[in-house]
Amino acid sequence: MAVDAATSRPPATELLGARRAGEATLSRVAKSLFFGAALFYLCVPMVAVLIYSFSTRWTANVLPDGYTLEWWQQTLSNPRIQSAFSTSVMLATLTAIIDIAVVVPAAYWSRVRNPHIRPVVELAAAIPFALPYIVIAFGLMQFSGIAAPQYQGTFALLVAGHAAIAFPFVYWAVDGAMAAAGIERLSETAEACGASPFQIVRRIVIPNISPGLVTGGLLSFAASFGEFAMAQIIGRSLDTVPLWSAEMIRSYSDTAGSYNRLAVVTLLTFLLLFALSAVVVYWNRGQTVRLLPGAGAARTGDGR
């Protein structure tokens, strides 16, 4: 923009304009360099993994000895990997759905109907960030051992555990979106229009917080998909992608190509989450989404 302004300057200020344009170019170069370095830093590991997934042997040299599609074919046709993938996708999807179904009504209620419970809800939404997952997982295992021993080690218990640790991601995204949309005001207006609470949530609240819903859903999906500690403790009998990956790393059998297959799975995971992120960016284009807890927390300070 600065450069455009400089070229359209009248001749009297041309010199000054040229200098400004020079400065603009310099800062643009600096920006590009910085951006390029950041991009390089982020991409090199992914590129290395990509190359590794296609290489026959890659040990002593800068580049692999040869290239092959074998690992991709093996991985994609491996029933164990397929099942780990589908378990993880199912787990993460259910986690996201449960969290959205629980959090949206709760956040709505705490904002519109009963602001007094907000501090409690916000505290609950901070606990999973404060405690290590491994502690929560042990607690959950102890508790389920007493309360419902038949569920120990099941998929259902792991879903419940993931829903519990991932819900703050949905809560903060949804709460921020509700603040941005001014949901209290819209809700009152809809009520004065004769809408029932269910009609208000379905027709007014959800459409106006959809960016927050999509963002929160993706974050909880990603948190569940990559979660290892809890899956390790609660879902030992299950095979999720992180559990399978850990096993591959521990196996020390590079000759069998397990590291290459691991590279393939890592790339597949990356591509899945990247595609989902692209969907979120597309959904949220032109809209501000407050993701960070700060936005919500700052408001409660003056609200209550």
Binding site for other proteins (CB under 8 A): 181-182, 185-186, 188-196, 199, 203-204, 207-208
* Smaller CB separation from other proteins, 253 or 288: 288
* Smaller CB separation from other proteins, 78 or 199: 199
Which of 246, 241, 247, 248 minimizes the C-alpha distance to 226?
241
Q: Rounded CA gap, 84 and 81, in Å?
A: 5
Closest separation between CB of residue 124 and other proteins, Å? 27
* Tokens coding 284: 């949220």
Closest separation between CB of residue 179 and other proteins, Å? 14
Q: Rounded CA gap, 224 and 222, in Å?
A: 5
* Smaller CB separation from other proteins, 63 or 192: 192
Closest separation between CB of residue 221 and other proteins, Å? 24
Tally of residues, the chain? 304
Q: Rounded CA gap, 178 and 174, in Å?
A: 6
* Smaller CB separation from other proteins, 191 or 239: 191
* Smaller CB separation from other proteins, 199 or 300: 199
* Smaller CB separation from other proteins, 28 or 203: 203
Q: Rounded CA gap, 193 and 188, in Å?
A: 9
* Tokens coding 127: 């606990």
* Smaller CB separation from other proteins, 182 or 294: 182
Closest separation between CB of residue 197 and other proteins, Å? 9
Closest separation between CB of residue 123 and other proteins, Å? 25
Cβ pair 69, 54 in contact under 8 A: yes
Q: How far is CA 226 from CA 99, 155, 243, in A?
A: 17, 16, 9
Closest separation between CB of residue 169 and other proteins, Å? 24
Closest separation between CB of residue 203 and other proteins, Å? 8
Burial class, 218, CB count within 10 angstroms (exposed 0-12 / middle 13-18 / buried 19+): buried
CB-facing half-sphere around the CA of 110: CA atoms within 13 A: 25
Show Cβ contacts of residue 245 under 8 Å, excluding neighbours closer than 6 positions: 262, 265, 266
